Amino acid sequence: MAKRRQGGRPTSEVVTSAHVGKNAELFARIVALHVPPGSLVADVTYGLGVFWRAIEPGTYRLLASDLELKDEALRLPGADYSTGVDCRALPYADASVDCVVLDPPYMEGLHRRAVGHMAGSGSHAAFRRHYSNQRASADGPKWHDAVVDLYARAGREAYRVLRDGGALIVKCQDEVSSNTQRLTHVEIISGYESLGLYTKDLFVLVRQTNPAVSRLKRQVHARKNHSYFLVFIKTGGRGRKISNIIDLRDTEGGEPASPEALNSSSQPS
């Protein structure tokens, strides 16, 4: 019998899940892997356009929007720019976009009732300028719950405008809120899967420099020096529970659940 040959070629030039470097470098690799050239991409939290610095202009049809586009933001030829657009209420028709890029303020310190209470004052003003619209949050949930609420509302809107098979690329970072570890990327994955979005990929971006902390008395949690890019695909199906999460709760009588019960509880509903 003739030996069966596998297709492809050996190479070390593959996209890996962890990257030490900058947003633009990793983002360029992510879109090259998951978004075909010529796709209509809506970056709904465009900010300064940092994500697009390493992508050849014209590779994608870009719809760039934000609550308030900054004058110094990167402007790419052929892209469509809109200001005054809330990522929770997009001006696009249902199922009209191939890819949505979402990178809202993902730290509770950027969601405050007063601007003077926001993170990023003094020497850290550039941080606030890059990652927020520098305006107070008038209403809604507080602290970390405000972060999750923003992702939830923006995720539902992204799902609406995405075509079936379209990609949602989300930037986020975990944080400690009120001395409690909040795994933002897990909260987002759980919520988005319930919408009918499939978590296709996860990337870890590690800072090139170590974070500095002033007036540290006693460290209780590890300092975050990484963030995430999550890639979701709109499946077109109804929402579901994450199928690979095992239910470890005790059964009646306080006894551990049997292997059969665990296997049963891990099946899609």
* Long-range contacts of 65-69, Cβ-Cβ distance < 8 Å, separation of 24 or more: 65/90, 66/133, 67/133, 67/135, 68/133
* pLDDT score recorded for residue 145: 84
Q: What is the mean pLDDT of the chain?
A: 80
Strands 197-206 and 180-182: unpaired
Give the pLDDT band (50/70/90) at residue 91: very high
pLDDT at 251 over 60: no
Beta-carbon contacts of residue 109 (< 8 Å; ≥ 6 apart): 118, 119, 120
Contact by Cβ (8 Å): 87, 45? yes
Which of 11-15, 85-89, 126-130 is the most confident on average?
A: 85-89
Domains of the chain: 18-210+222-238 (3.40.50.150), 245-269 (no CATH)
Per-residue pLDDT tens over the stretch 200-239:
999 999 988 876 666 767 888 888 889 999 999 999 766 5
Contact by Cβ (8 Å): 118, 108? no
Lowest mean pLDDT among 21-25, 164-168, 252-256: 252-256
Q: Where are the beta strands (DSSP E) in 16-119?
A: 18-20, 40-43, 61-66, 80-83, 97-102
Per-residue pLDDT tens over the stretch 127-183:
334 444 445 445 656 668 888 889 999 999 999 999 999 999 999 999 888 788 889
Length of the chain in residues, anyone? 269
